């Protein structure tokens, strides 16, 4: 997915917290966030405009890893917990600052853990949140995305066992990459094109 496709996708799924997002969709959109955040004068406005789609794409990215989207609230919860604990121990000044520093350290560690989760590859095939956004298997009857382990299309009930994949323009049966018309092998994974899909 390109930068432009990612931005279009994230805005078309403005408040869609369901489904899955690929790494490229997530990171290109966060690059846009970062670049707009660096521009004086529009950084606060862009932050407000991009808040909901950023949370939505983060949620979908975690779904791609097979995780709940609520995990992205962890750093904020730990920061807020540290501040609340600091306020409750404000009478003991040294202890209050120690608790605040502990909360900030835990929030930073959880943010780092979250960034690692965003960077790791998603689950292959269908998971509880939907079809693989990178390599969806497509039903030859209705065009719906199907899982690698599916024998029948969940949308139309059509059989996937004998789905023929034609060489040329279209998708590789192994990795889903678009292949040139004259290609005999997939340029991405090396799979032979035009063979029957094995289920």
Instruction: Indicate the residue among 53, 87, 119 that finishes a domain.
Output: 119
Q: How far apart are CA 134 and CA 121, in angstroms?
A: 10
Give the closest residue to 22 by CA, choosing from 14, 98, 30.
30
> Does any domain span residue 124?
no
114 and 142 share one domain: no
> Does any domain span residue 67?
yes
> Does any domain span residue 193?
yes
13 and 83 share one domain: yes
Provide the residue range defining the domain that includes 150: 135-199
115 and 139 share one domain: no
Q: How far apart are CA 166 and CA 150, in angstroms?
A: 20
> Does any domain span residue 127?
no
146 and 110 share one domain: no
112 and 139 share one domain: no
Determine contact, residues 25/35, Cβ cutoff 8 Å: no
165 and 102 share one domain: no
9 and 107 share one domain: yes
99 and 147 share one domain: no
pLDDT tens, position by position, for the chain (199 residues)? Answer: 899 999 999 999 999 999 999 999 999 999 999 999 899 888 888 889 999 999 999 999 999 999 999 999 988 888 888 778 777 777 777 777 777 788 788 888 999 999 999 999 998 877 888 878 887 677 777 777 676 566 777 778 777 664 433 333 466 766 666 667 677 777 777 777 764 333 3
Given its phi and psi angles, is residue 22 left (phi above 0), alpha (psi -120 to 50 degrees) or beta?
beta
Pairing assessment for the beta strands 170-171 and 145-146 based on DSSP bridges: unpaired
> Does any domain span residue 148?
yes
Instruction: Indicate the residue among 119, 153, 185 that finishes a domain.
Output: 119
Instruction: Indicate the residue among 119, 149, 170 that finishes a domain.
Output: 119
71 and 149 share one domain: no
Pairing assessment for the beta strands 178-179 and 170-171 based on DSSP bridges: antiparallel
How high is the pLDDT of residue 176?
66
164 and 115 share one domain: no
How high is the pLDDT of residue 197?
39
Q: How many domains does the chain have?
A: 2
């Amino acid at each position: 997915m390109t930068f432009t496709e990612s931005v279009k996708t994230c805005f078309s799924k403005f408040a869609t917290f369901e489904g899955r997002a690929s790494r490229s969709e997530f990171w290109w959109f966060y690059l846009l966030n970062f670049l707009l955040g660096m521009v004086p004068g529009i950084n606060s406005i862009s932050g407000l405009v991009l808040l909901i789609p950023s949370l939505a794409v983060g949620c979908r990215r975690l779904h791609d890893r097979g995780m709940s989207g609520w995990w992205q609230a962890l750093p904020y919860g730990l920061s807020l917990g540290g501040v609340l604990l600091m306020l409750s121990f404000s009478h003991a000044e040294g202890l209050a600052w120690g608790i605040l520093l502990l909360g900030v350290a835990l929030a930073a560690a959880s943010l780092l853990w979250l960034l690692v989760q965003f960077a790791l590859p998603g689950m292959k095939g269908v998971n509880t949140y939907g079809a693989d956004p990178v390599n969806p298997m497509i039903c030859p009857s209705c065009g719906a995305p199907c899982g690698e382990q599916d024998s029948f299309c969940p949308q139309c009930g059509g059989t996937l066992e004998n789905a023929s994949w034609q060489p040329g323009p279209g998708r590789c049966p192994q990795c889903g990459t678009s292949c040139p018309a004259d290609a005999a092998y997939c340029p991405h994974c090396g799979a032979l094109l035009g063979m029957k899909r094995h289920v």
